[in-house]
């Protein structure tokens, strides 16, 4: 096959391309551990010691996480092309609470979302008559359960914790949205938002081909992986240093199960941190290995990812302060509960 | 003269998009007026739910993410308005 034919493959034969790409991805993933071990053995680091431990961790985890990230982001990029914001809005318009909240949280996972678009999206939902609580379920789930966080959790913590995070993130989004809906806070939208003309939620015909979805997958990898990889590498480097140098059980007193105050502190510290979820997860994984409690760690991650100060400042343009305070309070309470329940159960 | 508006609340992608539109127009020798719309009520009026959005001669042609160079050239080309608005990811093999 010539180079030209190779390049045309995703466009001409998208199915064949997906099969070839999936096989290549699996082979690369399987080859990782032997190659990392071989590389670590080549380096003159001595037999034992902290440095060797740290370097081995870094050499193995960096390509593993980046490979997983590229894979997950590619698949999500393709999935996203099925769920345009317009289609999601039409599905959610005039839903009742309860089931509507569940649907909104699930759609939040698969609809493309960028936090800088949160406000236009919010306005679009309000205009089409999507109830406030259901809109919030979507707005909480979309950033919290995102592909970058899931890929990193999968790579560093394993699938069980990744699924746990997914389930709990959805639960927090569903319950928080439902509570906000029950509080009937429509009056706390900014006046001009409340007075916006209503629109009918309509969906144009979707003629997207599989080849175009593959292109969308590539575009997502270029954009997202291109943006977050330095954070991932830096995060893993710090995590590797912690693995190699910080003594076992060092975190137990600070973030351990006995320290009851560690959950609220973790949530508070997490709020101003933003956009560095990619760099924080590897560090947090290392802390867990050094005796931090899982519930505290989960609460910290959720708070970093779901509650961000910049997002609240942007939302202030469409919501009155009271509604923002309720939103932050309800979500923070949900995250706190998750932290405490986990520390108590596990 | 084409009237181009870039809708967005001042995020990095919006600035990149505006700069890209300007650059493509200059390269193609197409005269445009470029306006950055940052006011939320006006953005909402266009019904755009993801930013940056691009409006050419009053018609929304794009929403969400930095558009590709080829797409911008296509919008700015004289017959662009006559083509049906599709969401072809790349050089429209579907047209």
Residue pLDDT, tens place only, A48-103? 677 777 887 888 888 889 999 999 999 999 998 888 888 889 889 878 878 999 99
B32 closest CA partner among B1, B60, B57: B1
Entry pTM: 0.83
pLDDT for residue A329: 93
- Work out the minimum CA distance from B78 to partner chain A, whole angstroms: 24
- Work out the minimum CA distance from B2 to partner chain A, whole angstroms: 25
Contact B40 A317 (CB under 8 A): yes
Residue B2 has φ and ψ, to the nearest 5°, of -95, 140
pLDDT for residue B1: 83
Average predicted confidence (pLDDT) for chain A = 84
For residue range A281-314, list pLDDT tens digits in order.
888 888 888 888 888 888 888 888 888 887 888 8
- Percentage helix, strand, coil, to 5, in chain B? 40, 20, 40
For residue range A311-328, list pLDDT tens digits in order.
888 888 899 999 999 999
> Could you tell me the pLDDT band of residue A179, with boundaries at 50, 70 and 90?
very high
Whether A173 shows a pLDDT value over 50: the answer reads yes
Task: Please report the domains of chain B, with CATH numbers, ordered by start residue.
Answer: 2-82 (3.40.30.10)
Whether B91 shows a pLDDT value over 60: the answer reads no
DSSP A222-282: IIIIHHHHHHHHHHHHHHHHHHHHSPTTTTHHHHSSS-TTHHHHHHHHHTT--S-HHHHHH
Contact list, B93 vs chain A (CB under 8 Å): 11, 211
pLDDT for residue B80: 46
Contact A127 B47 (CB under 8 A): yes
Contact A123 B43 (CB under 8 A): yes
Average predicted confidence (pLDDT) for chain B = 78
Whether A258 shows a pLDDT value over 80: the answer reads no
For residue range A122-151, list pLDDT tens digits in order.
998 988 889 999 999 999 998 888 888 888
Contact A212 B44 (CB under 8 A): no
pLDDT for residue A203: 67
Tokens coding A214: 């593959």
- Work out the minimum CA distance from A92 to partner chain B, whole angstroms: 14
Contact A207 B94 (CB under 8 A): yes
Whether B90 shows a pLDDT value over 50: the answer reads no
A–B interface: beta-carbon pairs under 8 A: 75
């Amino acid at each position: 096959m010539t180079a030209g034919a190779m390049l045309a493959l995703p466009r001409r034969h998208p199915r064949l391309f997906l099969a070839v790409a999936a096989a290549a991805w699996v082979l690369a993933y399987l080859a990782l551990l032997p190659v990392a071990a071989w590389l670590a053995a080549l380096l003159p680091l001595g037999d034992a010691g902290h440095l060797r431990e740290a370097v081995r961790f870094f050499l193995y985890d960096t390509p593993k996480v980046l490979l997983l990230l590229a894979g997950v982001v590619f698949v999500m990029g393709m999935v996203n092309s099925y769920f345009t914001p317009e289609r999601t809005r039409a599905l959610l318009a005039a839903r009742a609470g309860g089931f509507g909240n569940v649907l909104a949280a699930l759609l939040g996972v698969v609809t493309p979302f960028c936090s800088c678009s949160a406000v236009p999206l919010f306005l679009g939902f309000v205009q089409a008559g999507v109830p406030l609580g259901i809109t919030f379920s979507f707005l909480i789930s979309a950033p919290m359960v995102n592909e970058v966080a899931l890929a990193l959790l999968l790579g560093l913590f394993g699938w069980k914790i990744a699924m746990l995070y997914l389930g709990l993130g959805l639960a927090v989004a569903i319950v928080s949205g439902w509570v906000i809906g029950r509080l009937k806070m429509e009056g706390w939208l900014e006046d001009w938002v409340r007075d916006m003309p209503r629109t009918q939620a309509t969906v144009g015909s979707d003629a997207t081909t599989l080849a175009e979805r593959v292109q969308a997958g590539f575009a997502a990898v270029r954009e997202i992986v291109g943006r977050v990889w330095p954070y991932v590498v830096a995060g893993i480097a710090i995590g590797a240093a912690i693995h190699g140098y910080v003594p076992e059980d060092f975190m137990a007193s600070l973030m351990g199960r006995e320290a009851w105050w560690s959950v609220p502190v973790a949530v508070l510290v997490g709020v101003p941190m933003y956009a560095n979820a990619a760099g924080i997860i590897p560090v947090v994984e290392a802390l867990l290995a050094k005796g931090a409690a899982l519930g505290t760690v989960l609460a910290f991650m959720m708070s970093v990812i779901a509650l961000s100060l910049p997002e609240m400042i942007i939302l202030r343009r469409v919501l009155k302060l009271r509604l923002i305070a309720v939103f932050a309070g309800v979500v923070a309470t949900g995250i706190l509960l998750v932290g405490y329940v986990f520390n108590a159960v596990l | 003269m084409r009237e181009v508006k870039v809708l967005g609340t001042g995020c990095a992608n919006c600035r990149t998009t505006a700069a890209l539109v300007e650059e493509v127009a200059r390269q193609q020798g197409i005269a445009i007026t470029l306006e950055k719309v940052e006011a939320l009520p006006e953005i909402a009026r266009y019904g755009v739910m993801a930013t940056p959005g691009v409006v050419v001669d009053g018609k929304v042609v794009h929403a969400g993410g930095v558009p590709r160079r080829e797409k911008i050239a296509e919008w700015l080309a004289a017959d662009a308005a006559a083509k049906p608005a599709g969401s072809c990811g790349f050089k429209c093999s579907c047209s």
